[in-house]
Structure 1
Amino acid sequence: MNLRSSRCTIPVAALALAATSCAAPLTDAQSPSAPTFASWQKARRRLAEIRAEASGSGPRTMRLALTLREPRTGRTLEARGAVAVAPPEALRMILLGPGGTTALDLWVRGDSFRFAVPAIDLLRRGDATTPREAMRGLPVDFLRWWMLRPASGKLLWHEAERGGDRFVLREGQATIELFAAPGKGRVEARRTTWTSRAGEASRRIDEETIEADRMGCGSVRYRQASTGLAITVDCEGVETSRAPNERAFADPDAPPEGS
């Protein structure tokens, strides 16, 4: 994956993808009617269509421009970089700082991840056994769901609305409310992560939202309740004619081959 240096800011820009502000509620759904077998089957077919629309481009590399407003200072921070995606298992995202230095490096392969912000000596690794509470403030699960396994999860509820479909999904310790307009139109998603401990009432760990103008390469606004930051990511282009180099998905901490 080739990355070229461009505008960026202090490492807070790198944290952009790990942060966002308290999410505004999505549009309230109309009062649901009692589901029937036929309506439930139709909902499952529509959800399958959305998953196919979201992941149909396969392995790809996207060029990104990112802007965030830091809530404590009011500063606007900018960065550029790229993300290589090989659904449903692998993702590598790199943002560049001044002079081409690495501001953020996110690696995901299967259930394993590595999240690094070199300028502030932040390095976090984990896998499926990592407690979700320990990942509060990191967007790893959300990006895995959004970019590698879009619209995945067990269907719990569906409502056909004017202008689109609204679903409630369950994925592990997360509940997802998803709205999708017809075709590759507007998409909204709110992912709430909960604790899951025997003998204890569930409590919210975090809430993340995305508002996208369309499926695929477009403009996305991401918010994360736990950190107070808001981010806009614009996809400036996507390469689908050839898959990303497999080396982009190698574990950055793995010893070099032959060593």
Structure 2
Amino acid sequence: MRRWLLVVGVALSNLGCASQPTPAPAMSGEAWREAQRELAALQSDFAPTAGTLRVRVRMTATGHDVVMSGRGAIAQRPPNDLRMVLLGPGGMTALDLLVRGDQWRFAIPARDQLWTSEQTSKPPRGLPVSFLRWWLLQPLSGRLLSAHQGPGGTVFVLREGDATVRVQHRGDGLRMDRKSPSGTERMEVSGTGCSHAVYEHVEGRIRVAVQCEEAVEGVEERAFEAR
């Protein structure tokens, strides 16, 4: 746990100015309409649903050993709410993340550590808030800018707020690269539903791998209540 806190501190100290994303060229005609149809099909296939995932999580950082690993659960209610709780030795809560719309709260109860959206508008690098929002709440929510054929299939370029996102369908899963003023993020998802996801923040040198072990439909309101 100390190593994990150290990496969070390193990530905070390495905050820098990332280059502004460059939008891809516009499209027109039948190619544009076909890209829209193909993207709509992906959005339908990967549309998140309310439920609870039993997960195994592993977080690492370049130059360090394993920073944090554990099992727990993620409750999700798209498009705005999620809760992730991971357990440590003895069944104690090692990590508690709550996201409700633009508001978020990240706690490590055993060390009395707490970060919230009231302290900073954007989560610091090293906290998996952006990753979980991206994967479980709004994975393909951007506006289509363009598309082109890559070696593995169609590559879509989306605009999502201040970020430019490149999306490619790979087998049953997705590969996504997002560039914004906060840096470069990458995510690979093995498939729809209960799947495996790997997230990287390039500048923060953070890697988070989540393996879903079981999915349960539906979620109760109390899952999103602050404790």
TM-score range, shorter chain: 0.7 to 0.9
Q: Distance in 2 between matches of 1:159 and 1:54?
A: 20
* Structure 1 position 224, deviation (Å): 1.4
Specify every segment of 5 or more residues in structure 2 that has no aligned partner in the other structure, as ranges: 12-23
Q: TM-score, normalised by structure 1?
A: 0.72
Are 2:149 and 1:157 aligned?
Answer: no
Are 2:91 and 1:100 aligned?
Answer: yes
Per-residue CA deviations over 1:65-119 (Å, capped at 9, x if unaligned) read 1224443343474210110111112111111111111111111112211111223
CA contact (8 A) 1:13 1:79 kept: no
| Alignment match, 2:14 | none
2:115 to 103, 118, 124: 124
Secondary structure, counterpart of 1:55 in structure 2: coil
* Structure 1 position 43, deviation (Å): 1.1
Change (3 A) 1:180 1:15: farther
| Alignment match, 1:7 | none
2:160 to 171, 190, 194: 171
Are 2:82 and 1:91 aligned?
Answer: yes
Q: Distance in 1 between matches of 2:2 and 2:222?
A: 25
Specify every segment of 5 or more residues in structure 1 that has no aligned partner in the other structure, as ranges: 1-9, 21-31, 195-204, 254-259
Q: Distance in 2 between matches of 1:50 and 1:64?
A: 24
Q: Distance in 2 between matches of 1:193 and 1:34?
A: 19
1:217 to 194, 199, 209: 194
| Alignment match, 1:112 | 103
Q: Which deviates more, 213-222 or 66-75?
A: 66-75
Identity of aligned residues (%): 37
* Structure 1 position 12, deviation (Å): 4.9
Q: Distance in 2 between matches of 1:119 and 1:193?
A: 33
Q: Over the residues paired in the alignment, what is the CA RMSD in angstroms?
A: 3.1
Which runs of structure 2 are paired with 1:14-93 in the superposition (5 Å)?
A: 35-55=27-47, 58-75=49-66, 77-93=68-84
CA contact (8 A) 1:16 1:68 kept: no
CA contact (8 A) 1:16 1:231 kept: no
Are 2:179 and 1:192 aligned?
Answer: yes
CA contact (8 A) 1:83 1:93 kept: yes
Q: Distance in 2 between matches of 1:126 and 1:120?
A: 19
Q: TM-score, normalised by structure 2?
A: 0.81
Q: Distance in 2 between matches of 1:139 and 1:219?
A: 15
Letter in 2 for 1:40: W
Secondary structure, counterpart of 1:145 in structure 2: helix
Change (3 A) 1:226 1:97: farther
1:230 to 202, 207, 211: 207
Change (3 A) 1:116 1:34: closer
CA contact (8 A) 2:4 2:67 kept: no
Q: Distance in 2 between matches of 1:111 and 1:75?
A: 30
| Alignment match, 1:138 | 127
> What is the aligned residue count?
215
Per-residue CA deviations over 1:32-57 (Å, capped at 9, x if unaligned) read 9983321112111221211111125x
Letter in 1 for 2:142: G
Q: Distance in 2 between matches of 1:86 and 1:174?
A: 23
